[in-house]
C-alpha cells in the first residue's frame, strides 16, 4: 500500500498561516489551522501585494477576489522629496509589465483567505502553549486544555512565535528606533485624492506612505518617524493624531490635507530579527514572521510569507508521512537565503527612505536605480524551484 499523505497542523491564522492552508488544501493535503484569537480578524490598516505573491494567489484561484477587494496601483505611483518635488516613478510591474500590485485592507485579505478554506479548517480560541514530537508524529497542546497531533506542524505564529524556541534558541528582536503611525481615511473625506497610485515622501529621519485599499474606498497612510522610546512590540497601540500631524508639519501640503482628516491612528514599533540559520526541527518548521520578521521598507512581510506557503505546499505535495521531515528541510533550504536577502534589503531601503545621506542627489539616484531590484524581486516564481526540490525527494 502506498504511504499516505501527511496531515499538516498550522499554528497561527494570520496571512502566512491562512495562505499556506489554502495552498496545501489546493494540493489535496489535509490541514488544520489553530488560531489563538477568539475570531479571525485584523486591525484597520493596509497591506501591499506585489507580483511575486499575486501569482500564487492567482494559482489557487483567488486573483478575482484580490481584484475585487484590492485597489490596483499603477504607473502614476511616485517617490517625492518631503516638499513634494518628484524623485522617481515606483516600480509597479514585474519585468514582463504585469501590473499585479494591489493595496488591500488587512481584514479583507484575511477574510478572503479564511473564507476560501473548507468549513472546519480553522479553529479559533486555541492558543498553542506546548509542543513535543517523536519519530512518528508531532503534538501541540493549547492553553484551553485541548491537544492535537499531526505528521507536520507549521509555526506561523508571528514575530513572538511560541514554537520558534523548539527549533532555535530564543533571541531578542532588533529595535530600529522608529515607529509607524498608521490608519485609514475614507476617500469621501478627500474626494480628489487619486485612488490609482502608491505615493511616498522622503525626508530626514522620516517618511510618509499612502496607497488605496478596498477598491479605492479607503486610503491607507503610514507615517514613519524616529523615537527614543523603546516601545513594546505592538501592531496597534493607540497614537495621537495631533502628534502625527506635528511630525509632518511643513511637508507637502497634500500630506497636511490628508492628515487633517485623521481621527484615529495606531502606532507600530519597528522590529526585525537577524536571519535565522535554522527553520526546521524534524516535523516542525517555521513560516512567515515566525521565521523571518522583517522591516516594512520593501513591503514584503506578507508577500514573503505567501511565497513560503506556496513553496511548502509544492514540496509537501510530493511527500508522504515518512518523507515529510525531509520535505521540510527541502522547504527551508529553498527559502532561507531568498528571505535573508529580502530582510537585508528592507534594512538598506529604510536608510534610503529616511534619507540617511549627506548628499540627497545620491539618495535620489539610488531610489531611481532601485527599480531594477524590485523587478528581480517581483519576477521571482518560487514554484519551479520548489518542484525541483520536491523532485529530489522521490
Ligand atoms: C496587526 C498586524 C499588522 C501588520 N502590519 C504590517 C505592515 O504594515 N507592513 C508589513 O510589512 N508587515 C506588517 N505586519 C507583518 C505582516 O503582516 C507579516 O509579515 C505577514 O503577514 C506574515 O505574517 P504571519 O502570518 O507570519 O504572522 P502574523 O501576521 O503575525 O500572524 C500570526 C498569527 O498567529 C497567531 N498566534 C500567535 N501566537 C499564537 C499562539 N501561541 N497560538 C495560536 N495562534 C497564535 C496570531 O494571533 C496571528 O493571527 C503586520 C502584522 C500584524 C499582525
pLDDT digits (tens, 9 = 90+) for 87-103: 999 999 999 999 999 99
CB atoms within 10 A of CB 21: 28
221 within 8 A of 190, measured Cβ to Cβ? no
How far is 199 from 211, CA to CA, in rounded Å? 7
Helix (H, G, I), strand (E, B), or coil: what is residue 343?
helix
Cα of 58 to ligand 1 centre, how many Å? 22
Concatenated DSSP letters for 227-251? Answer: -SS---S-S-EEE-HHHHHHHTTTS
The CA 268 to ligand 1 mean position distance, Å, reads 13
DSSP three-state, residue 281: strand
Cβ of 235 below 6 Å from ligand 1: yes
43 lines ligand 1 (CB under 6 A): yes
Nearest atom within ligand 1 for CA of residue 291: 26
Q: Convert the pLDDT of each residue in 237-288 to its tens digit.
A: 888 999 999 999 999 999 999 999 999 999 988 888 889 999 999 999 999 9
Lowest mean pLDDT among 24-28, 41-45, 136-140, 266-270: 41-45
Cβ atoms of 41 and 125 closer than 8 Å? no
Grid cell digits, residue 238? 493607540
Q: Decide: helix, strand or coil at residue 49.
A: strand
Query: How much distance in Å is there from the Cα of 158 to the middle of ligand 1?
Result: 5
- Residue 176's pLDDT band (boundaries 50, 70, 90)? confident
Asked if residues 268 and 239 have their Cβ atoms less than 8 Å apart, the reply is: no
Residue 205 has pLDDT above 60, yes or no: yes
The residue to mutate among 50, 157, 161, 166, having the most atoms of ligand 1 within 8 angstroms of its beta carbon, is 157
Asked whether the predicted pLDDT for residue 180 surpasses 80, the reply is: yes
What pTM was estimated for this model as a whole? Answer: 0.95
What b-and-e string marks burial along 308-336, b requiring 16 or more CB atoms within 10 Å of the CB? bbbbbbbbbbbbbbebbbebbbbbbebbb
The average pLDDT across 329-346 equals 95
- Nearest Cα residue to atom 12 of ligand 1: 301
Amino acid at each position: 500500500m502506498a504511504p499516505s499523505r501527511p496531515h499538516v497542523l498550522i499554528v497561527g491564522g494570520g496571512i502566512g498561516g491562512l495562505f499556506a492552508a489554502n495552498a496545501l488544501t489546493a494540493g489535496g493535503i489535509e490541514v488544520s489551522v489553530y488560531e489563538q484569537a477568539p475570531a479571525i480578524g485584523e486591525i484597520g490598516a493596509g497591506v501591499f501585494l506585489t507580483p511575486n505573491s499575486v501569482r500564487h494567489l492567482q494559482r489557487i484561484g483567488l486573483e478575482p477576489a484580490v481584484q475585487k477587494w484590492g485597489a490596483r496601483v499603477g504607473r502614476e505611483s511616485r517617490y517625492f522629496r518631503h516638499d513634494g518635488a518628484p524623485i522617481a516613478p515606483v516600480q509597479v510591474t514585474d519585468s514582463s509589465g504585469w501590473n499585479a500590485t494591489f493595496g488591500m485592507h488587512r481584514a479583507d485579505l484575511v477574510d478572503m483567505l479564511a473564507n476560501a478554506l473548507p468549513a472546519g479548517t480553522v479553529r479559533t480560541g486555541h492558543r498553542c502553549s506546548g509542543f513535543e514530537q517523536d519519530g512518528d508524529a508531532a503534538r501541540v497542546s493549547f492553553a484551553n486544555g485541548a491537544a492535537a497531533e499531526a505528521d507536520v506542524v507549521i509555526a506561523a505564529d508571528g514575530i513572538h512565535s511560541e514554537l520558534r524556541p523548539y527549533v532555535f534558541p530564543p533571541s531578542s528582536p532588533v529595535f530600529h528606533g522608529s515607529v509607524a503611525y498608521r490608519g485609514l481615511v475614507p476617500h469621501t473625506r478627500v474626494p480628489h485624492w487619486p485612488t490609482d497610485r502608491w505615493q511616498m515622501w522622503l525626508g530626514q529621519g522620516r517618511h510618509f506612505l499612502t496607497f488605496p485599499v478596498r477598491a479605492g474606498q479607503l486610503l491607507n497612510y503610514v507615517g514613519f518617524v524616529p523615537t527614543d522610546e523603546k516601545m513594546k512590540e505592538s501592531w496597534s497601540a493607540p497614537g495621537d493624531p495631533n502628534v502625527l500631524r506635528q511630525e509632518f508639519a511643513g511637508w507637502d501640503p497634500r500630506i497636511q490635507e490628508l492628515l487633517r482628516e485623521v481621527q484615529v491612528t495606531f502606532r507600530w514599533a519597528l522590529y526585525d530579527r537577524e536571519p535565522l540559520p535554522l527553520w526546521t526541527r524534524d516535523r516542525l518548521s517555521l513560516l512567515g514572521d515566525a521565521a523571518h520578521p522583517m522591516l516594512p521598507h520593501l513591503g514584503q512581510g506578507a508577500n514573503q510569507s505567501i511565497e513560503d506557503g506556496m513553496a511548502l505546499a509544492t514540496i509537501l505535495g510530493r511527500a508522504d508521512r515518512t518523507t515529510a521531515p525531509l520535505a521540510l528541510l527541502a522547504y527551508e533550504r529553498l527559502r532561507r537565503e531568498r528571505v535573508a536577502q529580502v530582510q537585508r534589503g528592507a534594512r538598506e531601503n529604510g536608510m534610503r527612505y529616511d534619507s540617511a545621506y549627506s548628499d540627497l542627489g545620491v539618495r535620489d539616484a539610488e531610489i531611481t536605480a532601485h527599480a531594477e531590484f524590485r523587478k528581480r524581486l517581483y519576477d521571482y516564481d518560487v514554484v519551479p524551484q520548489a518542484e525541483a526540490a520536491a523532485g529530489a525527494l522521490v
